[in-house]
Amino acid sequence: MSAEFSQPDAGASRDLLEPIRHRRPRRLGDTVVTHLVDRIVSGGYPVDSVLPTEPELCEEFGVSRTVVRESIKLLEAKGLVKAIPGRGTRVLEPIGWNLLDPIVLEAQIRHDSDLRILDDLINVRAALECDMAAQCARVITPEQAEALAEQANVLTETLDEPLRYAREDVVFHEMIMIASGNRLGHAIIHSIHAKARLSSRYNGDPSREELVQSLAEHRQIESMILQGDAQGAAAAMRIHILGSWTRRRPGIHGALSGGAGSLDALE
């Protein structure tokens, strides 16, 4: 690919960077990193292109060379660039980008024009949460089972309050992940799901009919877990996660393609 790229619009950059110059020095590095990550992920700095020089970045962001150098090191740690002495700092292939890094993931979701990253996120979430639902059915304590049943009732009570229902939905899933004892899986889902929920394309605008369907799916998950049916809990969770995304994914008709699988295959 070409090592050349178009410089960001000067006027737009000045407007965007104006708040940076008023931040406390210890926050400048974070701000510079966030802007550079956004430009790399959006394609403003294409793969194999060379980032502006240190003096150019210092001038653009109004920061010292120390701040710029620290920012480049952070970009390297995130897998986005590689600084080569005498050759500049080059943008690396997306395959090596750390998508579990919150700044990188947030930018990736923001610039996900074809929703591919959100499709991938759903696949990962389904795989992990299905396993955790199964484990939850095996090890849930009586106290946790009672709390989960109460939370399912809260979902029922908030059916006509979409925003509150969405919050209580998150709590329901959190309870299952915590009860499963899979702390790593919980941490991964918590990280990626939190960023996904910032995107309006991920959340959608569910109708009451869709919320009723969602509630029925949650009740099925609850039922399987409380019966101690690990396989049934996993299947119910998979149907719920994939089905919910199928219903709200912008521009989708029918089942998801690719790794997400067809809902017909789950019946």
Give me the pLDDT at residue 199, please.
Answer: 74
For every one of its 267 residues, what pLDDT tens digit does the chain have, with 9 covering 90 and above?
433 333 444 444 444 444 444 444 446 668 899 999 999 999 999 999 999 999 999 999 999 999 999 999 999 999 999 999 888 999 999 999 999 898 999 899 889 888 899 999 999 999 999 999 999 999 999 999 999 999 999 999 999 999 999 999 999 999 999 999 999 999 999 888 877 877 777 777 888 999 999 999 999 999 999 999 999 999 999 999 999 998 888 764 333 333 333 332 222
What are the tokens at 236? 């119910």
The domain 112-266 having CATH identifier 1.10.10.10: the answer here is no
Give me the pLDDT at residue 205, please.
Answer: 80
Distance CA 228, CA 165 (A): 26
Cβ pair 263, 243 in contact under 8 A: yes
64: phi then psi, degrees, rounded to nearest 5: -80, 170
Residues of the chain with CATH 1.20.120.530: 112-266
Give me the pLDDT at residue 158, please.
Answer: 95
Give me the pLDDT at residue 200, please.
Answer: 72
Geometric angle at alpha carbon 135, from 117 and 206, rounded to 5°: 45
The residue count for the chain: 267
In this structure, which topology does domain 10-96 adopt according to CATH?
Answer: Arc Repressor Mutant, subunit A (1.10.10)
Hey, which residues does 81 pair with through a beta bridge?
91
Residues of the chain with CATH 1.10.10.10: 10-96
Q: Give the amino acid at 47.
A: V
Give me the pLDDT at residue 7, please.
Answer: 42
C-beta atoms surrounding 73 within 10 Å:
14
137: phi then psi, degrees, rounded to nearest 5: -60, -30
Give me the pLDDT at residue 251, please.
Answer: 61
Geometric angle at alpha carbon 37, from 31 and 41, rounded to 5°: 150
